[in-house]
Amino acid sequence: MIKPDKPANEAHRLDALHRYRILDSEKEQTFEDLVTIAKAVAGTSMAAVTLIDAERQWFKSVQGVETAELPRDASMCGHAILSPREVMVIEDARLDARFHDNPIVVGAPGVRFYAGAPLISNEGLPLGTLCVFDSQPHQLEPDRAKALAALSRQVMVVMELRRFALDIQQHMQERDDYERLLADYHDVLLAQNADLAEQSRTDALTGLPNRRAMAMALDAAVADTEGQPRQTCVALLDIDHFKRINDFQGHATGDRVLAELGRLLRGQFAGAGMAARYGGEEFVLLLPDTDLRTAELQCDFLRMAVADLPLGFPVTVSIGVAAHRSGDPTDRTIERADAALYRAKAAGRNRVETAG
């Protein structure tokens, strides 16, 4: 195991870290949210916000493994802060001379993949990382590395806001304008929370709303503002033979197909309705104020548009459509659309079927 060197400005770096008064603090939901998003973006089973103290790596938030801190000498993040302007990616720690015999690689939690985006203070000092890791070798596409770096900057925004709040609490009695400062802090925090909420409702790869956002929209779409039923249809769309694309052309090509389909769906539903990624290669479409026949025609036009996507190879979709029935739970409407989708696939794929 190769122990990480300490930065030349280590004393200055530690002074900056301690000014945040964050080490050994309690869990906070905003940090938990950012770690959740980072784990989803990278597709890993573990992620953390870590801070590098003098002799230890301390976890402000960690998911996928039960630990509060590690010796700094055994930390991968201790290496990551030595190159503060880049995301350090280790695709397979067993093949890296620095980490092949590291305790967290050969023992629990058996880390193989690691990616760490340094947390950089306003003074340009690396304080720790937002990192993702997994027990299986992994790759991190450039756009996901950029997303991880963007999230690390959001962690620093939260840390700055947190320090700002602590400073206000400490000095509010001696500042005549503390009410204005508190109001400014409140506005910034609300904006930050709104941004986090938006990220938690959006699929990172396609840019579409995710399943959670669609469930909320569907519940709102089946009734008007006075609670009266609205004519609403729901469709489930599945990419035909998507596993073959991943198996024979690679997951990067599969991701490109998903991203192109996401762009098409955003354009198709920009004016009315909504499209969301439901999971894997499946998407859900919400068509409010639309009868079943019109919804079927719209979905058939969409099916033909997918076949014309400039991907360099044929891609088709199967679609199941259901009209919401007054009094039914929205989950039941989704189930009926799913049954229609199953019939479309059983009948040969590349077709639209409606629920009875």
Every domain range in the chain assigned CATH 3.30.70.270: 211-354
Question: What is the model's pTM?
Answer: 0.52
pLDDT reported for residue 26: 94
pLDDT mean values, one per 10 residues, the chain (356 residues): 87 95 94 95 96 96 94 95 95 95 94 97 95 96 94 95 85 64 62 49 82 78 74 94 92 92 87 84 91 94 94 94 90 93 96 92
Every domain range in the chain assigned CATH 3.30.450.40: 10-200
**Under a CB-based contact definition with an 8 Å cutoff, are residues 58 and 86 in contact?**
no
Would you please indicate which residues are annotated as catalytic (active-site) residues? 281
Q: What would the two tokens of residue 168 be?
A: 């206000």
Q: Residue 238 corresponds to which amino acid?
A: D
- Cα 38 to Cα 130: distance, rounded to the nearest angstrom: 8
- Cα 30 to Cα 162: distance, rounded to the nearest angstrom: 10
129, 136, 139, 352 from 102: Cα distances, Å: 19, 15, 20, 54
pLDDT reported for residue 27: 93
Q: Residue 260 corresponds to which amino acid?
A: E
pLDDT reported for residue 19: 94
pLDDT reported for residue 119: 97
Question: Based on the number of CB atoms within 10 Å of its own CB, is 68 exposed (0-12), middle (13-18) or buried (19 or more)?
Answer: exposed
Multiple choice CATH, 211-354, 3.40.1380.20, 3.40.30.10, 3.30.70.270, 3.40.50.720: 3.30.70.270
CB atoms within 10 A of CB 243: 11
Please give the backbone phi and psi of residue 132, each rounded to the nearest 5 degrees, phi first: -125, 145
**Which distant-in-sequence residues (6+ apart) come within 8 Å of 290 by Cβ?**
231, 232, 233, 273, 298
CATH superfamily name and code, 10-200: GAF domain (3.30.450.40)
